[in-house]
Amino acid sequence: MKVAVYPGSFDPITNGHLDVLKRAASLFNIVYIAVARNLQKSTMFTTEERLEMIRGCTTQYENVRLDSFDGLVVDYARQVGAEVIIRGLRALSDFDYEFQMALMNRHLEKKIDTVFLMPHEDYTFLSSSVVRELVKFGGDISGFVPTNVEAALLKKIRR
Ligand code: ADP
pLDDT digits (tens), the chain, 159 positions: 999 999 999 999 999 999 999 999 999 999 999 999 977 779 999 999 999 999 999 999 999 999 999 999 999 999 999 999 999 999 888 999 999 999 999 999 999 999 999 999 999 999 999 999 999 999 999 999 999 999 999 999 986
CA dist 64 and 90 (Å) reads 22
By three-state DSSP, how is residue 126 classified? Answer: coil
Active site residue 136: no
Let me know if 50 is a catalytic residue: no
**Protein residues whose CB sits closer than 6 Å to any atom of ligand 1:** 8-10, 14, 16-17, 20, 87-88, 90, 94, 119, 123, 126-128
Q: What class, spelled out in words, does domain 3-158 have in CATH?
A: alpha beta
Contacts 24+ apart (CB under 8 A), 47-53: 49/152, 50/9, 50/10, 50/11, 50/12, 50/13, 52/152, 53/10, 53/12, 53/13, 53/148, 53/149, 53/152
**Which of the following is catalytic: 17, 50, 87, 132?**
17
pTM to 2 decimal places:
0.95
- Per-residue confidence (pLDDT) for residue 159, from 0 to 100: 66
Establish whether the linkage from the previous residue to 12 is cis, with ω within 30° of 0: yes
Give me ligand 1 centre to Cα 158, in Å: 26
